[in-house]
Structure 1
Amino acid sequence: MPSAAHPVPAAGFPQPFVSAVLDDALAAGARVYGLSGLQGTGKSTLAAQLVATAAGRGLRAVALSLDDVYLDRPERERLARAVHPLLATRGPPGTHDLPLALETLDALLAGVTVRLPVFDKRTDRRRPRDVWPRVDPVDLVVFEGWCLGATAQDEASLERPVNALERDADPGGQWRRHCNAALALAYPALWQRIDRLLFLQPPGFEVVPGWRWQQESMSYTAPAPEPGMTLAEVERFVQHFERVSRHLLQALPSRADAIATLDAARVPQELRVLR
């Protein structure tokens, strides 16, 4: 694959790579093309580039993010009180509004005008429905999310904590078992809406904290700076995702339809079409 002159995703992915990914979606006849990748891999950047490239070919495409169907903060706070305090933190399995995600995808597949949900991470709240963007019928939905295609682990794998967060905040394993049960029972229906899945494969989970910190740092240097997490907060935050992320790295290469391998600078090295 061609290299980029600047780090990805700040400068975007190389256009030949974007075009090759779109070719893969179109050759497969996909209506919903899934982009799965760990935090910081550039999923939203690639999704936006795919939509723009599709428009250049006369196709109507739209990007939908799993991040925009989080449960609203009050709902997660209720879960935190009823099940486990860690469920107040958005992102892990069990903290998404799956009926909303399914309703949105099904409306897009039905070819009707639909409002796309929007979640405001600055306030940790879902924005009111009347401000959600209205989208007319489209040819292609690019659906992106950090855990797309994730499957549940076996019970034995849940026994030992994978990091300090699980050791200290979930010593009995109640939180991780709740997340795992959600992956086993609730998420497969959503994954079934995906016609074709591309995995943006990083060198390993070890790069994720640094990539996530790079994203966070951009909030401090933007023209209108926004309050963000400290480095210590980012390092703790990514631990919420470590277990499922490591399982994805093991399991998804055999389940995805295509794999884009990324180097430590997030530059795509190869696009492999598996099926």
Structure 2
Amino acid sequence: MSGPPWPWCFPPEPHRRLLVRCGVSDPLAWAEEWRQRLGAWQGPPHPSLLWGLILPLLSSCYSRSGNGGAGLRYPLLIGLNGPVGAGKTTLGRELERLAPSLGLRLAVVSIDDAYLPFEQRLQRLAGNPFGVSRVPPGSHDVPLLLECLRRWRSGEPLQLPRFDKRLRAAQGDRAGWRRFEAVDVLVLEGWLVGCRALGVSALSMAMAKPLNEWNNSLSPAELAWLPRWDQELQAYQPLWNQLDGLWLLRPSRWSLPLRWRLQAEARQRRSSGQGLQASEVAAMVRATLASLPPELYQVGLERTVPGSSAATALIKLDGKRRCIWSGSADDAS
């Protein structure tokens, strides 16, 4: 890794400003230090994501923990919002692998590990227009997750439920608990992490506007369920209020998540002989895009709104899941 890492990956100025916001006083010295530390690093993920997301996020946590002199509190809860298929699991593994080099005890978990038990999900999602038993708002046991976080932040060891998607004929169910011996930074990843309910009035106004790209693409049944999903999303707000930062992974176009997830399932079938059918994958991806249309719920995370703050960072991905833009969310608006 020779030379500054970012000019060949993405525009340098937004990335430099993001690094400064993450507590990096000298981005060039920071890059050189990481090159020395990493040596002959090889992914996955793509190197652009190493420099565009992983290392800035770790540097931010290092600074905020007090190790970098900022003197902020431990423990930290960081949200990572990204569509299905974007590679959040791979990014999480690399975050966990590199964190100890900064003295950080970091774990990455999926909000989907807090899915409700199978029977409760069936009841909660009965009749939904996607025919899925998980994914949309209302699928998760938010009170349980909040209680787990409360105990962790009060000094107890972190314990979280575990979800096994192989159970119940691949519809998934609870599979015991996962205990973490020492965690100071927890990254919570998921496609809806940070998304805020619009409320009855704002959603009604959005739905009453002349047909545009987002509502023109929804079926009558999907439109009819939007108020239900928005209402379910309200229960997640206390959880989002716990976040100490929010990092956004954004596809260059919203047709990409389906392609990415189909590719992932194909790899899974080749390696294990198991995997979802294409129709099942399409239903799950559709559930993310039509229960909370990105134009209403994801785009708003990129800017400051009353009662919340803009996300910490925004990372844009091309069709091959390479970082093509990295910067503060307010730089992207």
Is residue 112–residue 136 contact of structure 1 (8 Å, CA) maintained in 2?
no
1:134-165 per-residue CA deviation (whole Å, 9 max, x = no partner) reads 2123111111111111122422334678477x
Q: Residue 117 of structure 1 aligns to which amino acid in structure 2?
A: P
1:48-90 per-residue CA deviation (whole Å, 9 max, x = no partner) reads 2111111232221111211111112200112244x75758521
Provide the rounded CA distance (Å) in 2 between the counterparts of 1:248 and 1:40.
19
- Where structure 1 has 5 or more consecutive residues not aligned to the other structure, the ranges are 4-9
Is residue 163–residue 239 contact of structure 1 (8 Å, CA) maintained in 2?
no
Provide the rounded CA distance (Å) in 1 between the counterparts of 2:175 and 2:319.
38
Is residue 162–residue 242 contact of structure 1 (8 Å, CA) maintained in 2?
no
Aligned ranges for residues 149-168 of structure 1 at < 5 Å?
149-153=194-198, 154-158=203-207, 162=215, 167=219
Aligned to 1:110: 154
Aligned to 2:252: 203
TM-aligned CA distance change 1:75 to 1:181, over 3 Å: same
Aligned ranges for residues 216-231 of structure 1 at < 5 Å?
216-222=265-271, 224-230=272-278
Is residue 13–residue 46 contact of structure 1 (8 Å, CA) maintained in 2?
no
Equivalent of 1:147 in 180, 192, 198: 192
Is residue 261–residue 269 contact of structure 1 (8 Å, CA) maintained in 2?
yes
Aligned ranges for residues 55-74 of structure 1 at < 5 Å?
55-74=100-119
Aligned to 2:68: none
Aligned to 2:72: none
Q: Percent identity?
A: 29
Is residue 247–residue 311 contact of structure 2 (8 Å, CA) maintained in 1?
yes
Equivalent of 2:285 in 238, 242, 255: 238
Is residue 116–residue 174 contact of structure 2 (8 Å, CA) maintained in 1?
no
Is residue 130–residue 286 contact of structure 2 (8 Å, CA) maintained in 1?
no
Equivalent of 2:89 in 9, 23, 44: 44
Number of corresponding residues: 260
TM-aligned CA distance change 1:236 to 1:134, over 3 Å: closer
Q: Which has the larger radius of gyration?
A: 2
1:156-177 per-residue CA deviation (whole Å, 9 max, x = no partner) reads 334678477x526x2671x322
Provide the rounded CA distance (Å) in 2 between the counterparts of 1:269 and 1:24.
20
**What's the offset of the Cα at 1:250?**
2.0
Equivalent position SS for 2:161: coil
TM-aligned CA distance change 1:163 to 1:116, over 3 Å: farther
Is residue 35–residue 148 contact of structure 1 (8 Å, CA) maintained in 2?
yes
Q: Which has the higher contact order (CA 8 A, sep 6+)?
A: 1
Please report the TM-score for the alignment, with normalisation by the length of structure 1: 0.84
Aligned to 2:174: 127
**What's the offset of the Cα at 1:274?**
4.7
Equivalent position SS for 1:33: strand
- 106-115 or 30-39: bigger deviation: 106-115
Is residue 260–residue 268 contact of structure 1 (8 Å, CA) maintained in 2?
yes
Equivalent position SS for 2:134: coil
- Where structure 2 has 5 or more consecutive residues not aligned to the other structure, the ranges are 1-5, 10-42, 66-74, 304-309
